[in-house]
């Protein structure tokens, strides 16, 4: 006997506009609600750590938190790129960045302190780490990425959800934002390779500034 989810998925797989179908699928909306709840869990944990640091250490380990859910069209495109069918199981099993939290810190040192404190909590499991701060990408991109599992408690069940947590300094976030915007204009640029070289120089300079500012902060303390 087919379930509502099975029927919806059959319609989705045969649709010319899977993004539109996803937006009207109740099982998909339920899944997105679970990811949104997972975001709230991670955000709360980080805000609690921030409050404690403000009281005990007289400073805040981060400046801001940004949360986002991947849009249906992006989910569809990413599954197609991976060559897998667009199903709820494949969404959960093949994509780890549907729910994302970006934590903006003032100093690189705070990134590692905060990420370690989050990872040590007994209901958090880190399943993947990519350190692009100690090992920057060739274009200069820097950030610490964690994929974590976090439980959410619904009215009738407990679910384990994946959340991607990115830690950056203010300078790293500004650089990444500019790089992201330029990617959309790449095809219209006369000399994209020159811009890429200049961006790499900016990334290296801002990284050096991050550590110099951290050194000054430590001297003041």
Catalytic residues: 164
* E runs forming strands in 72-157: 99-105, 125-131, 144-153
The pair phi, psi for residue 152, each rounded to 5°, is: -125, 145
Tokens linked to 42: 């991670």
Supply angle C-alpha 132, 49, 127, rounded to 5.
Answer: 45
Tokens linked to 198: 């200049």
Question: 157: how many CB neighbours lie within 10 A of its CB?
Answer: 8
For the chain, the residue count is 221
CA distance 100 to 1: 36
Question: 81: how many CB neighbours lie within 10 A of its CB?
Answer: 8
In this structure, are residues 142 and 133 in contact, taking their beta carbons and an 8 Å threshold? yes
Which residues, in sequence order, are bridge partners of residue 65? Answer: 103
CA distance 31 to 116: 28
């Amino acid at each position: 006997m087919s379930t509502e989810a099975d029927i919806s998925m059959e319609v989705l797989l045969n649709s010319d506009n899977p993004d539109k179908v996803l937006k009207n699928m109740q099982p998909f909306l339920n899944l997105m609600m679970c990811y949104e709840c997972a975001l709230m869990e991670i955000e709360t944990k980080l805000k609690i750590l921030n409050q404690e640091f403000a009281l005990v250490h007289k400073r805040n380990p981060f400046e801001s938190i940004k949360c986002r859910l991947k849009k249906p069209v992006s989910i569809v495109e990413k599954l197609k790129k991976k060559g897998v069918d667009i199903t709820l199981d494949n969404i959960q099993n093949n994509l780890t960045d549907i729910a994302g939290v970006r934590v903006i810190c003032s100093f690189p040192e705070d990134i590692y302190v905060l990420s370690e404190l989050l990872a040590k909590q007994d209901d958090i499991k880190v399943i993947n780490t990519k350190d692009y701060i100690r090992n920057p990408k060739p274009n200069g991109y820097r950030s610490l990425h964690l994929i974590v599992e976090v439980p959410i408690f619904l009215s009738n069940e407990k679910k384990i959800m994946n959340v991607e947590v990115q830690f950056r300094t203010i300078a790293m976030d500004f650089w990444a934002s500019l790089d992201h915007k330029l990617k959309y204009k790449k095809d219209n640029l006369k000399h994209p390779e020159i811009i890429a070289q200049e961006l790499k120089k900016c990334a290296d300079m801002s990284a050096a500034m991050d550590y110099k500012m951290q050194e000054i902060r430590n001297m003041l303390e």
